[in-house]
Structure formats: structure tokens, C-alpha cells
Amino acid sequence: MKRHVVTLSALAAIAAPAATAPPAAALHTARTCGSLAGYKVKARNVGCLFARRWAPRSYYHRRHPAGWRCTYASASSSIRMYCYSGSKAYVLTR
């Protein structure tokens, strides 16, 4: 019984700092990579070259890279297009 209590105490001592630690850093924020049709091309967790190449194809021709999904908004929205794959994304925004 005493051995069980010691083990639980040791586990609690190890877990306590982890419970009070600050949350992990957020994902990378989007960076502006140029413009297209009056909108800013932004990239999050992908390179600007990738975002600049795919933004016109996605916006004008409704094509996107394999494994990616794109959503298109109305003209009244500040975000015209949002393409994502997991934590990676590229966006057309005002």
C-alpha cells in the first residue's frame, strides 16, 4: 500500500508542472505574400511562392492542389477565398 502511495505522489509531482505550464505556441500566423485582383494573398504554414502560384488557379479556375479544400465567400465578405489542408492554408483577403 505504501509503495502505491509513493508512486502516485511521484506521478503527481511530475504532472503538476505540466498542468501549470503555458499552452504550446500557436500555429504560425499568416503572412502577406502579394496581391491578386485587389486582394492580399496570405500564407500560413506554406511558402509565399506556393501561395502566389496557387491563388490565381484557385480563384479564377476553381482548381486547388491535391489534398486541399477551398471555400469561396460572397463579395461582401473580407475573405474571398480560403484554401486549407490541415494547418496549412492560403487566403485571399481585403
- Cα separation, 45 vs 22, in Å, equals 22
Phi, psi of 81 (to 5 degrees): -150, 140
With a threshold of 0.75, does the pTM exceed it? no
Would you say residue 2 has pLDDT above 80? no
pLDDT digits (tens, 9 = 90+) for 33-71: 999 989 999 999 999 999 999 999 999 999 999 999 999
Mean pLDDT, the chain, integer: 82
Residue 75 confidence (pLDDT): 82
Give CA–CA dist 12/7, Å, rounded: 9
